[in-house]
Amino acid sequence: MISTHEILEKSRAAGQRLPYNEAAVLFAGAVRLAAASDSTLRGRLVRIDDAGGLHVEGFDEQAPEAEPAYLAPELLSANAPDKNDPKVQVYAAGVLGYELLTGRLAPPPGQAPGPELTGPLGDVVRRALAVDRRERIEDLRELHEAVEEIQPRPPAEGERNILSALRNRFSRPPPEKEALAKLIDKLHQLEVQVAQLGKAQARLEASQRESSETIERFEVGQTRVDRAGRRRQSVVAPAMAVAAFTAAAILAAAWAFGLLAIPARLAPPFATNAPPPPAREQTEVTPPARDAGVAEAKPAPAGSKRAAAEPTPVPAEPKPVPPEATPPPEAKPVTPATAEAGADEGSEAAAADNPNADAGLAVGSDAGTAQLAAAPTPVSAPPPPRRQASSRAAMLHALALSQVRRGEDALEQGNADEALASFRAALENEPTIAVAFRGLGMAYAMQGHDSEAVQAYDKYLRLMPNALDAPGIRRSMLDLKARANAGAKK
C-alpha cells in the first residue's frame, strides 16, 4: 500500500503536480470515508492498496503530531479545542485538498490560501481553510456534500482504476533507488548462487572421494585376479605339458609295436622302397583233399560248355616226406626279378604236373572268384633275418597286413570300391605284399574290369608262384581273358 503523503512527496520531488481528475477523485474519496467514520484526516492515514482500493486509518489523538501543517489555528491558542472537533477535522481535510490540488505544502496556520486554488472545488477547499472558525464549514458531512455537488463520485470500477494507476505510477522508487535496489537484489541472488555452488562443490568432492575409493577397490581386485591367474597358469601349463608328452610317448610305443595303424596318405615317402620286414616262419597247412574237392566240385556257370562236358578232377593226396629225406633249401631274399622268374617256372611246372589243367578252364570267373575267396590266405616265405631290423619297416608291414584284412572284409561284404582302396593303400605301404595283388584281382573281377584283374593276378603269381591257390588263380585268369576277348569281339 502507498499513502497520500508518499504520493505528494514524490510528486513535489519530481516538480510535478497531480492531474486534476486524479487529485479530485482522491480528495472526494478521502472526505467521504472520513465523514462516514468521523475520522480526522492526515496524509499518512489515507492509503491506496494494490487493487486500487482507498482506505482511511484511524487517528490517534494522543500520538505525537507527525504533520503539524494539518493543525487548525485555534489549536495553537490557550483555549485549544479537541483535535476531533468537527471544525478542526474540516480544516485538516482542507489541508489535504489544498496539497492534492496545488501540489504544494499547505500555508502555515492562520494564513489564508492564495490564488493558487482555482475552480469550484478550490472554492470549497478555501472555505474549509478559513482562519476564522465561524466562516469554516461546520463538519465533514457538510464538506462531503459540498464536494459531491462539484465532483460526483465515479462508478466504483472507474474510481478503482484511477487510484490503481496513481498508485502504480508513484509506487516505483526513483531511478537511483531503483538501481540500488536492483543491485542489492542481484547481490542477494549472487549470495544464493554462491551458497548453491558451495553445496554443489561439496557434493562433487564427495562423489570424487567415492570414485577414488571405487577405483582403489577395483585395482585391488584386479591385482588379486592377476595373481590368481598367474598361479592358475603356473599350475595348468606344466600339467598340459606332462599330458602332451605322455600322449606322445603312448602313441610312439603303439606305433613301434605295430598296435597303431597309420593311414596310407600319412605314410612317409621312403617307406615304399623299404625291404619287407622279417616275419616268423609259418608252416603252410595243406587243406584236406575232401574240402578241395568239394570246393572244386562247385557247379560251373550255365554259359560254360566245356565245364558241363568234362568232370572236375580231384587232386591226389600228397605223400608225406620224411624230414630227413629232403633238407630244407636255403631261403633267398625275394626280389621282383626272382619273383617274376619263379612265377614263370612255377607256371610251367604246374602245367607239366597237372595234365588236367585245361579241364579247369571250364570253371567260370564267378566260381573261381568264390573259390579264391574261400581259400586260406597264403603266407609268403619270410626273408632272411637281418642283423639290424628297421622298426619303421616292421610298422609299415603290419599296417599293410591290416589294410589287406580290411580289404578282404570289404570283399566278403560285396563292397568292391572299399576293397580296392584298402588293397591300394597296402601296396603303397609295402609294394611287394602279394596278397594285396590277389585282392586287387578279385575286386577288379567283381567290377567287371577283366584286364586289370588279369594284371593283378599275374603280379600275385609272380610274387607267389607256389601258393596253394595258384592253380585256381590261373584258371580265373584264363576265364577272365576269354571273357575279355568275347566282349571285344562283340
Q: pLDDT tens digit string along 272-308? A: 444 555 544 444 444 444 343 333 333 434 443 333 3
Assigned domain for 141 exists:
yes
Beta strands in 259-348 (DSSP E): none
In a shared domain, residues 390 and 457:
yes
Which region among 40-49, 177-186, 347-356, 387-396 has the lowest average model confidence (pLDDT)?
347-356
Q: Which three cell numbers stand for residue 120?
A: 469550484
Task: Cite the DSSP H helix spans in 298-390.
Answer: 305-309, 336-353, 365-374
Bridge partners for 2 per DSSP: 48
- Mean pLDDT computed over 88-104: 91
Domain encompassing residue 29: 2-172
- Is 245 domain-assigned? no
Of 173, 170, 178, the C-alpha closest to 11 is 170
The residue type at 288? P
Under DSSP, the state recorded for 117 is -
Look at residue 278 in the predicted model and tell me its pLDDT. 52
Distance CA 460, CA 21 (A): 147
Same-domain check for residues 56 and 106: yes
Q: Are residues 309 and 423 in the same domain?
A: yes
- Is the pLDDT confidence value at 390 over 80? no
pLDDT at residue 251, rounded to an integer: 79
Share of the chain above pLDDT 70, in %: 69
Q: Output the pLDDT for position 373.
A: 44
Kindly state whether residue 208 falls inside one of the protein's structural domains: yes
User: Do 194 and 299 share a domain, yes or no?
Assistant: no
Same domain (yes/no): 104, 138 = yes
- Residues 158 and 218 grouped into a single domain: no
Question: H helices of 105-155, where?
Answer: 119-128, 140-150
Question: Does 489 or 467 have the greater pLDDT score?
Answer: 467
Single-letter residue type at 330? E
Among 223, 238, 258, the domain boundary falls at: 223
Reported confidence tier of residue 424, pLDDT bands at 50, 70, 90: very high
pLDDT score of 170: 84
Q: Do 24 and 160 sit in the same domain of this protein?
A: yes
Q: For 227-281, write each residue's pLDDT tens digit.
A: 876 665 555 666 677 778 788 778 777 777 766 665 555 555 544 444 555 544 4
Please name the helix (run of DSSP H) or strand (run of DSSP E) that holds residue 152, with its range, or none.
Answer: none
Contacts of 235 (CB under 8 A, 6+ apart): none
> Which band of pLDDT confidence, cut at 50, 70 and 90, is reported for residue 152?
confident
Question: What average pLDDT does the structure give for the chain?
Answer: 75
348 within domain boundaries: yes
Identify the band that residue 389 occupies on the pLDDT scale cut at 50, 70 and 90: low
Q: Exposure pattern of 437-470 as b/e (b: 16+ CB <10 Å)? A: bbbbbbbbbbeebbebbbbbbbbbbbbbbebbbb
Please identify, among 223, 241, 261, the residue that sits at the C-terminal boundary of a domain.
223
Predicted local distance difference test score (pLDDT) of residue 232? 57
Angle at 18 between CA 12 and CA 22, to 5 degrees: 150
- Contacts for 408 with CB less than 8 Å, ≥ 6 apart: 377, 419, 439
Residue 484: per-residue pLDDT: 84
pLDDT of residue 339: 39
Q: 339 in a domain, yes or no?
A: yes
Q: What is the pLDDT of residue 456?
A: 94
Same domain, 74 and 184: no
Tell whether 399 is covered by a domain.
Answer: yes
Higher-pLDDT residue of 137, 250: 137
Cα torsion for 158, 160, 162, 165, to the nearest 10°?
A: -140
Cell of 326: 629232403
Kindly state whether residue 238 falls inside one of the protein's structural domains. no
Q: What is the DSSP letter of 17?
A: -
pLDDT, tens digit, 9 for 90 and up, residues 184-233: 988 988 989 999 999 999 999 998 888 888 898 888 888 888 887 666 55
Question: Do residues 311 and 369 share a domain?
Answer: yes
CA-to-CA dists, residue 478 to 73, 344, 348, 483, angstroms:
174, 16, 15, 9
Judge if 37 and 102 occupy the same domain.
Answer: yes
Same domain for 143 and 215?
A: no
How many CB atoms neighbour CB 252 within 10 A?
11
57 in the same domain as 7: yes
Domains contained in the chain, number: 3
CATH, residue 111: 1.10.510.10
Q: Look at residue 242 and tell me if it is in a domain.
A: no
Cell of 205: 568432492
| pTM passes above 0.85 | no
